Chain A
Amino acid sequence: QQPVQSPQAVILREGEDAVINCSSSKALYSVHWYRQKHGEAPVFLMILLKGGEQKGHDKISASFNEKKQQSSLYLTASQLSYSGTYFCGTDVSNTDKLIFGTGTRLQVFP
């Protein structure tokens, strides 16, 4: 039931791009993306709702393919501040109950 994220870990140089995927075995109503730095609380990035929308701000964007039951997070021209663990949280039936994915650890080096 827990969404599977891929890859498990990514190492980047500053300025490089990355894609993080989140796949669910169940139909999704919405997907919430968070970034968590070591020892800190998860920080909200964006919500994608059913309807196949794509969102973005600055150099981080995401897409949601409800037919494939998956979402992807796109990080372009990565910065050192992007380092952390990324989690997708999935809501399968608009119940407010988020099930978080397995996580993707991203490290950006100068």
Chain B
Amino acid sequence: GAGVSQSPRYKVTKRGQDVALRCDPISGHVSLYWYRQALGQGPEFLTYFNYEAQQDKSGLPNDRFSAERPEGSISTLTIQRTEQRDSAMYRCASSLNSGETQYFGPGTRLLVL
């Protein structure tokens, strides 16, 4: 596609439910990154992939958060047993190769009630 796309754009869920956030990177981009961004703050690194391999997941807050990119293209960030503190904008970015420019998607705004 022309740019990074994410779905859904908005997600409202009840505490305790699981959610899956999808990221479709720019076609041909090797690297894919997940960030979380609070209002007024910069993006906070969660995890990233090169192709289908998860390279670094040190930013995932706890074991309720997981991510996968099984075929090296689309990625899914899953949050299990959501809590109110998980409410935030979740952004995905992709780059052609490691260390190159990261292009951000529009984000998924998650609200946990």
B104 contact from A42, A99, A103, Cβ within 8 A: A42
The distance from the CB of A105 to the nearest CB of chain B, in whole angstroms, is: 9
Closest to A46 in B: B101
B56 contact from A30, A44, A96, Cβ within 8 A: A96
B104 and A41 contact, CB distance less than 8 A: yes
Please tell me the number of chain A residues within 8 Å of chain B, measured between CB atoms.
24
Please give the residue numbers on chain A whose beta carbons come within 8 Å of chain B beta carbons, in ascending order.
Answer: 2, 30, 32, 34, 40-44, 47, 85, 87, 89, 91, 94-103
Chain B window 20-45, contacts with chain A (Cβ cutoff 8 Å), 1 for yes, 0 for no: 00000000000101000000111111
Given contacts A87-B43, A96-B48, A100-B44, contact A32 B101 (CB under 8 A): yes
Contacts of A85 in B (CB 8 A): 40
Interface size band for B: 20 to 34
B60-113 residues at the A interface, CB under 8 angstroms: 91, 95, 98-107
B1-58 residues at the A interface, CB under 8 angstroms: 31, 33, 40-45, 48, 50, 55-56, 58
A41 and B44 contact, CB distance less than 8 A: no
Given contacts A41-B91, A42-B43, A87-B43, contact A96 B105 (CB under 8 A): no
